[in-house]
Amino acid sequence: MAEEEEGKEYRWETGYEKTWEAIQEDDEGLLEGSVAEIIQRAKRKRQAERHGNTRLGMMRHLFLVIDNSDCMSNQDLKPTRQLCTIKLLEGFIDEFFDQNPISQMGIIITKSKRAEKISELAGNPRKHIKAVQQLTQVACSGEPSLQNALELALRSLRMLPSHASREILILMGSLTTCDPGDISVTVQNLKAQGVRCSVIALAAEVHICHKLCRETGGLFGVILDDCHFRDQLFQHIDPPPAATFLDSSLIKMGFPHHLMQEGKEASLTMCMCHVDSTDGEGGRLNSGGYFCPQCCSKYCELPVECKACGLTLVSAPHLARSYHHLFPVDNFKELEFRDMQDKIELCFACQKRFGEHDKHVYECGTCSRIFCLECDMFIHDLLHTCPGCATNHSTSQSMSNDSVPPR
């Protein structure tokens, strides 16, 4: 602490780090970062835990709480904790809306014992990314206040309808929190309101964070390095199982078409999303757009909540993409490559030749095709259909019957 403040220290003055000791040999004497293995194992484990046929909170309302206090300028993540976090968040926000198109997100930062909302609860990833990117300009200062941040998030989340899932994800760099009152009351409030709080700690396990997660049913994780950080962060992309007391209700949605008035003299109009933004980009007048079926307001992109009439506007593929979380591809069977060596040579998906490095291969339970680890991950994380089943006529028929959503 005292050293950091002096700040004028050169790298060679900071004493020696025995970096060679951090590298460990694995069982076979190979120098491989043990961290990568941990992450992979954890990923597989998480996948294995996922089952079909559970109720998921699909309309997610997530508040990101970002610690922006003093200790975020710590350099244990390169270049600094703050910059690393921002970089990862950009990817996270994109991916989040890609996988959960009918969800909304808001961003809160906490520093100097205060909490501040830098981005309201909304479904537009670009706006959030911009807000996050602007954080690079903000200096890290003071101590964070967990309670203020939680209260602020709760104030917005409380208003939501009962079918919406409410979540808070906290990125905590600090080991302390400076709160105005008794935080355990806030925790109980959150629990009563059914808000699921998760914490990713960048430094170490802090009791109150752990308790918060345990009480509200969220996940708690401490990162090992930036890769692990990414992994911890991205596991929040999959929608969590719905809380039992979440109501189910019918939601009115609009499916606007993209209209371009061609041929005629197109009248240039502003879209509703950019009507009050002052910066030039996107604020230009154009002729095409999505028109709300209820009130004919124009929007340049979907999904969005209509500003005029409050209707949720989505396109069918969005809904379908959200839907596939409900029917995940069954977990593949893990097989020892050694036993399979004679029978199989190539990964069915990427056509990679299996070699010495592959300890395990993975078999789809339905079509019995064999995949490598990377493809296994890719199929389950992103693709959500098994290429083996999709190319096989009989299985793809049966699959499409139960996985394509009714329009």
Partner 1 sequence: MKLSVDGLLVYFPYDYIYPEQYAYMLELKKGLDAKGHCLLEMPSGTGKTVSLLSLIVAYMIANPLSVTKLIYCSRTVPEIEKVLEELKKLMTYYEKERGQAPKMVGLVLSSRKNMCIHPQVSKERDGKIVDGRCHSLTASYVRERHNYDDSIPICSFYEGFDIEGREVQLEPGVYSLDDLKEYGQERNWCPYFLARYTILHANIVVYSYHYLLDPKIADVVSKELSRSSVVVFDEAHNIDNVCIDSMSVKINRRIIDRSTANIQLLEQTVNEMKEDDAKKLKEEYQRLVEGLRDASVARETDVVLSNPVLPDEVLKEAVPGSIRTAEHFVGFLKRFVEYLKTRLRVQHVVLESPASFLKDVYQKVCIERKPLRFCHERLASLLRTLEIADLTDFSPLILITHLATLVSTYTKGFTIIVEPFDDKTPTVSNPILHFSCLDSSIAIKPVFDRFQTVVITSGTLSPLDMYPKILDFHPVIMSSFTMTLARPCLLPMIVSKGNDQVAISSRFETREDVAVVRNYGQLLVEIATIVPDGVVCFFTSYLYLESVVASWYDQGVVDSLQRNKLLFIETQDAAETSLALLNYIRACESGRGAVLLSVARGKVSEGVDFDHHLGRAVLMFGIPYVYTQSRILRARLEYLRDQFQIRENDFLTFDAMRHAAQCVGRAIRGKTDYGIMIFADKRFSRADKRNKLPKWIQEHLKDSLCNLSTEEAVQDRCLGVIGYRRNELQQSII
Q: Which residues bind partner 1 (CB under 8 A)?
A: 1-2, 15, 17-18, 21-22, 38, 42, 76, 146, 175-179, 182-184, 201, 203-209, 220-224
Count the Cβ atoms, other than its own, within 10 Å of residue 26.
Answer: 11
Gyration radius of the chain's alpha carbons: 24
Instruction: Give the shortest CB-188-to-partner 1 separation in angstroms.
Output: 13
Instruction: Give the shortest CB-213-to-partner 1 separation in angstroms.
Output: 11
Of 164 and 199, the one with the shorter C-beta distance to partner 1 is: 199
Of 15 and 355, the one with the shorter C-beta distance to partner 1 is: 15
Burial 182-213 (b: 16+ CB within 10 A, else e): ebeebbeebeeebbbbbbbbbbeebebbeebb
Of 83 and 203, the one with the shorter C-beta distance to partner 1 is: 203
**Bridging pattern class, strands 298-299 and 289-291:** antiparallel
Task: Please spell the DSSP secondary structure of 2-55, one letter per residue.
Answer: HHHHH----GGGS----GGGT--B-TTS-B--HHHHHHHHHHHHHHHH--SS--
Which neighbouring-strand residues pair with 333?
Answer: 363
Of 187 and 367, the one with the shorter C-beta distance to partner 1 is: 187
Distances from the Cα of 39 to the Cα of 226, 330, 380, angstroms? 11, 21, 16
Instruction: Give the shortest CB-200-to-partner 1 separation in angstroms.
Output: 11
Phi, psi of 119 (to 5 degrees): -155, 125
Of 34 and 396, the one with the shorter C-beta distance to partner 1 is: 34
Please answer whether residues 59 and 164 qualify as being in contact, where contact means their C-beta atoms are separated by less than 8 angstroms. Answer: yes
Query: Is the peptide bond between 317 and the residue preceding it cis, with omega within 30 degrees of 0?
Result: no
- Give the residue among 211, 159, 229 at the shortest CA–CA distance from 220: 211
For residue 304, the surrounding DSSP H or E stretch is strand 304-305
Instruction: Give the shortest CB-399-to-partner 1 separation in angstroms.
Output: 34
The helix-helix angle for 81-99 and 316-323 (nearest 10°) equals 110
Of 132 and 201, the one with the shorter C-beta distance to partner 1 is: 201
Of 214 and 284, the one with the shorter C-beta distance to partner 1 is: 214
Compute the distance between CA of residue 325 and CA of residue 94 in angstroms, rounded to an integer: 17
Instruction: Give the shortest CB-86-to-partner 1 separation in angstroms.
Output: 21
Instruction: Give the shortest CB-106-to-partner 1 separation in angstroms.
Output: 23
Of 76 and 330, the one with the shorter C-beta distance to partner 1 is: 76
Instruction: Give the shortest CB-111-to-partner 1 separation in angstroms.
Output: 14
Instruction: Give the shortest CB-220-to-partner 1 separation in angstroms.
Output: 7
In the three-class reduction of DSSP (H, G, I as helix; E, B as strand; rest coil), residue 241 is classed as strand
Of 175 and 295, the one with the shorter C-beta distance to partner 1 is: 175
Instruction: Give the shortest CB-90-to-partner 1 separation in angstroms.
Output: 24
Which two structure tokens, joined as six digits, stand for 184? Answer: 């355990």
Instruction: Give the shortest CB-75-to-partner 1 separation in angstroms.
Output: 12
Of 205 and 345, the one with the shorter C-beta distance to partner 1 is: 205
Of 54 and 176, the one with the shorter C-beta distance to partner 1 is: 176
Compute the distance between CA of residue 184 and CA of residue 136 in angstroms, rounded to an integer: 32
Which DSSP symbol is given to 269?
B
Angle value at C-alpha 343, between 341 and 344, nearest 5 degrees: 75
Which two structure tokens, joined as six digits, stand for 69? Answer: 């206090």
Instruction: Give the shortest CB-22-to-partner 1 separation in angstroms.
Output: 7
